[in-house]
Structure 1
Amino acid sequence: MSYVLGIDGGGSKTVCVLMDDLYQVLGRGEAGPSNYQSIGREATFQSIQSAIQNAFEAAIIKNTVKIDAICLGLAGVGRAADIELVKDLVKELQNSKLPIVWALQSANIVICNDALIALVGGIGQPVGIVVAAGTGSIVFGRNNQGHTKRVGGWGYILGDEGSAYKIAIAGMNAALKSDDGREISTSLVGGLKHHLDLESIEDLVEVIYRRGWGVKKIAALAPIVDLAAASGDIVANIIIDDAVKELVKATSTVIDAIFNSDSVLEVVTTGSVWRGRCKIHERFAASLIKKFPKVKVIFPRHEPAYGAGLLALQTTQN
C-alpha cells in the first residue's frame, strides 16, 4: 500500500489530504495560509506542517505511515527560485517530528502552482481547463501531451478580469457615475448604501480610501452586483456580461493554444464568482459552448488538495 500527501496552499488556508493508492482520503487537515510571497518562509512552513499534522490526527489509521510521494500546489509558486525554496521546505518537513516515515525520491516530489491542482482535483485527471474566478482570476489548461497554457492571474492591478474584485470595482464605479448623472440609474447605489450603512454613495470615498480597504474586502462587495443583476438591474447585468466575456476570451485563448477547436474536453469552474444568483455560470457555459460545441463546463468533482494527491500518486505508478 502506498501513501501520499496532497497539499493545497493558498492565501487564506492550507489543506492537506493523506491518500492511499486506492484513491481514498484517509485524513484531511487544515491550517493557516501558505503563500510565502505574502507571509514569508517560516510562516509558510508552519502552516504546511500543521496541516499535515492535522490530517494525521484526523486519519482513520493511527500508526506511523510511510509516505512515498508528496505534491505541494502552492499559490505564488511559478519561478525556479520558488520551486527551490519549496524543495527546502520539504527537506525541513522530513526532519520534523511528524508521525511519518519518509520514503521520498526526487521524482516523487511534485511542486506546482495551485491552478494545476485545482484542474486535476476539479476534473479528476490532469487534462482539461480550470477557470478560477474568486477574489482574483486565472485560466489554466493542460492537454494530453502535457503542454500547458496559462492566461491571466496577473493580480488586481495588472489583470484579474472577471474576478470578484473587478466586478466589485465596476459596481462601485457604476454607482458613482449614476449618482453623478453620467450613467443611467442603477439599484447599485441603494445596494451599496444599505450594505455599507452609508448616508450617501459619496461616502464610498471614505470607506475605500480612508479606511484603507484591501483587495479581499473590496472583492467581498461583488455579491451586491450579483444580486442587482439577478433582480434585473441593467447596469449590473452589463457588468456581469463584461465579466463573462473576459472569462470566455481567456478560456478561448487556452483552447486555441493547446487544444483543437473541436476537442472534447471539460472546463471546470472554481471560485466564489460562479456561486452567484445571476446565473453567471450558465451565461459563461452558453457563450463558451457556442464557440466550442464539444466543451463541457462543470463544477469541481473534488477539491484542489485531492488533485494534489492524485498528482503525487501518479509519480508512484510510473
Structure 2
Amino acid sequence: MSYVLGIDGGGSKTVCILMDDEHEVIGRGQAGAANYQSIGTEAAFMSIQSAIYEAIKLSKPIKIDAICLGLAGVGRAKDIDIVKGLVSGLIDTQTLPITWNLQPSNIVICNDALIALVGGIGHSVGIVAAVGTGSIIFGQNQQGETKRVGGWGYILGDEGSAYKIAVAGMQAALKSYDGREKSTSLIEAFQQHLNLKNIEDLIEIIYRRGWGVKQIAALAPIVDLAAAYGDEVANHIIDDAVRELVKATATVIEDIFSPDSALEIVTTGSVWQGRCNIHERFTSAMVDKFPQVKVIFPRHEPAYGAGLLALQSLTR
C-alpha cells in the first residue's frame, strides 16, 4: 500500500489529506494560511507542517511515497524553487513522524487552480471556474495544454468576483443616491447591513477604516440578495458578472478545446452559492454557446485533487 499527501494551501487556510493508492482518504488536517507571498516562507512552512501533522496523527508512523502541494500564487520557476525548499524542510524536520520515500518526480508543485480542477472533476481534463473573493478560469486538455484567463487581482482583473460585485453594488447605490442611476433597494440594504445612518457613510467605512479586499468582497451577498428579490439594478450587476465569466470560460474552450468538445466545467467559490441563481444563469449561457459542456459543482475538495496528482506521479 502506498500513501501520499495532498496539500491545498491558500490565503486563509491550508488543508492536507492523507490518501492511499485506492484513492481512499485516511486522514485530513487543517491549519492556517500557506500563501508565502503574503505571510512569508516561515509562516507558510509552519501551516503546511501543522496540516500534515493533523492529517497523519491517527496513522503515525507512516511512509509517504509522494506529495503534491497546490498553493495559491505559485506559477513561476522562482515560486516552485521556494516551495521545493519548504518540502526539503519538511523532510529534514524531526517534528513529523513520517518516513519519506520521495523521488524528485514524486514531488508535485502546482498552483491551486489545477488541484481545484482535478479535485472538482476527478481528473485533470476540463475547466475550473473559481469565483470567490477573486476570479480565475483555468483549463487543461487531454494533451496537457493549459490555459488561464483572469486571476489578475482586484485592481487589474477579477471580473465576476465577489469583490467586483460588491464594488459595483456600492457604486450603483451611490449613483442612485446622486440621481444618476435608477432607484434601487441597494441603498437601504447597505445602510441596514453596515448600520449606517446615511449611505454617504460608506465613505468612512471604505476609505477611512481602510477596508481590505476580503472585507469588501464580503458585501457581495447584499447585491446577490437584492437581485434575488427582483431589484433591477442589482440584477444588472449580476448579469454583467455572468457575461464576464462566460466570456472568460469561452476563451479557454476556444483556445485549447474544440468547440464541440464534451467537457465538464467545475464551479468553485462563494459566488456560485448565491441566491439569485447566478450559477443557473452561467450554466444556461454556457450551454447555449457550447451545447456539449456540462457545468457541475465540485465532486471533491481541492486537497483531494492534490492527492490524485500525487498518486498519478507514482505511475509515470
Q: Same fold (TM over 0.5)?
A: yes
Aligned with residue 311 of structure 1, among 304, 309, 312: 309
Aligned with residue 89 of structure 2, among 82, 88, 92: 92
The one-letter amino acid of 2:284's match is: A
Cα offset for 1:63? 3.6
Q: Which moved more, 1:160-169 or 1:95-104?
A: 95-104
Structure 1 vs Structure 2 CA RMSD: 0.5
Aligned to 1:3: 3
CA displacement 1:178-236 (0-9 Å, x = unmatched): 00000000000000000000000000000000000000000000000000000000000
Contact 2:60–2:98 under 8 Å retained in 1: no
Aligned to 1:115: 113
Aligned to 1:73: 70
Cα offset for 1:141? 0.1
Aligned to 1:54: 54
Mapped to 2, the partners of 1:158 and 1:67 lie a distance apart of 41
Aligned to 2:42: 42
Aligned to 1:171: 169
Q: Specify the SS of the correspondent of 1:144.
A: coil
Q: Specify the SS of the correspondent of 2:65.
A: strand
Mapped to 2, the partners of 1:85 and 1:317 lie a distance apart of 26
The one-letter amino acid of 2:15's match is: V
Which TM-score applies when normalising by structure 1?
0.99
Aligned with residue 242 of structure 2, among 238, 241, 244: 244
Aligned positions, number? 315
CA displacement 1:14-48 (0-9 Å, x = unmatched): 00000000000000000000001100010000000
Contact 2:136–2:148 under 8 Å retained in 1: yes
CA displacement 1:221-273 (0-9 Å, x = unmatched): 00000000000000000000000000000000000000000000000000000
The one-letter amino acid of 2:27's match is: G
What 5-or-longer segments of structure 1 have no aligned partner?
none
Aligned to 2:196: 198
- Of all paired residues, the percent bearing the same amino acid is 74
Contact 2:162–2:217 under 8 Å retained in 1: yes
Mapped to 2, the partners of 1:256 and 1:108 lie a distance apart of 32
Q: Specify the SS of the correspondent of 1:130.
A: strand
Contact 2:139–2:252 under 8 Å retained in 1: yes
The one-letter amino acid of 2:52's match is: I
Which TM-score applies when normalising by structure 2?
0.99
Mapped to 1, the partners of 2:188 and 2:274 lie a distance apart of 19
The one-letter amino acid of 2:140's match is: R
Contact 2:8–2:69 under 8 Å retained in 1: yes
Mapped to 2, the partners of 1:104 and 1:90 lie a distance apart of 10
Mapped to 2, the partners of 1:67 and 1:257 lie a distance apart of 38
Contact 2:185–2:231 under 8 Å retained in 1: yes
Q: Specify the SS of the correspondent of 1:76.
A: coil
Cα offset for 1:99? 1.0
Cα offset for 1:56? 1.1
What 5-or-longer segments of structure 2 have no aligned partner?
none
Mapped to 2, the partners of 1:2 and 1:245 lie a distance apart of 45
Mapping for residues 119-268 of structure 1, pairs under 5 Å:
119-268=117-266
Mapped to 1, the partners of 2:108 and 2:256 lie a distance apart of 22
